[in-house]
Amino acid sequence: MTRLTGKRALVTGGSRGIGAAIARRLAAEGADVAITYAASADAAGEVVGEIERQGRKALAIAADNRDAKAIEAAVEQAARMLGGIDILVNNAGIFIAAPVNALTLEDFDATIAVNLRAAYIAVRAVLPHMGDGGRIIGIGSNLALQAPQEGLAAYSASKAGLTMMGQALARDLAPRGITVNTVHPGSTDTDMNPAAGAHAPDQVARTASKRFGRPDDIAAAVAYLAAPEAGSVTGTAILVDNGANA
């Protein structure tokens, strides 16, 4: 698989889970990859090592998605080290669930800051380093389209905002041939939401396929959107949720 040979990618929140799977898949497709991480330095180093063993360039950059200057600095460092950025994957996110009477304003603000505001900051920062025909991909959630349980006001709002921001940016950036799309994972087996966890049976029951997703499922969708053959796909969202929202 060499659809992305010569491409340079930045994946935010790429040290574990879905982000790590995306970083590995883009590298397997031929891209050099930079990742950001908030706290998991050892895990980030492992992902970098795996990518380098594939013969690709890789680096990990510490960056808190609540800090605009840190995001901008991470983009600058990635562009400098890789020689530019062709693919931006806004994956970093947090999940805070609580009913409205328990969800604090600080929790709401943090969710919007990390899941939505940071993605906008990263897009603005990356554009001077991205040539025509670039790819911008946001990792949303099927909970952006449906709230099947209580406590999702902040999270669902942040991911719905990410989706509509991508749609609007697709219009803004179409003259440069830059596509902007969103991938909506459903319940996916990660350390944050393990398939063997206490809440997993209820999540599986809501799916049509009666199974949890895998990080590689999401990575495959991202790799498609990043590839040359997806040049006509922009301003849209792909659900990868085993039919939970069917």
How far apart CA 103 and CA 97 sit, in angstroms, is: 7
- DSSP reduced 3-state for 159: helix
Q: Does residue 37 have an active-site annotation?
A: no
Q: H or E stretch including 216? A: helix 215-226
Report residue 230: phi and psi, to 5°: -95, 20
How far apart CA 227 and CA 243 sit, in angstroms, is: 25
How far apart CA 32 and CA 82 sit, in angstroms, is: 7
- Give alpha helix (H) positions in 3-152: 17-28, 41-53, 68-82, 105-112, 118-126
Catalytic option among 37, 120, 155, 224: 155
Report residue 182: phi and psi, to 5°: -125, 140
Torsion of CA 44, 193, 19, 122, to 10 degrees: -100
Q: Catalytic amino acids?
A: 155
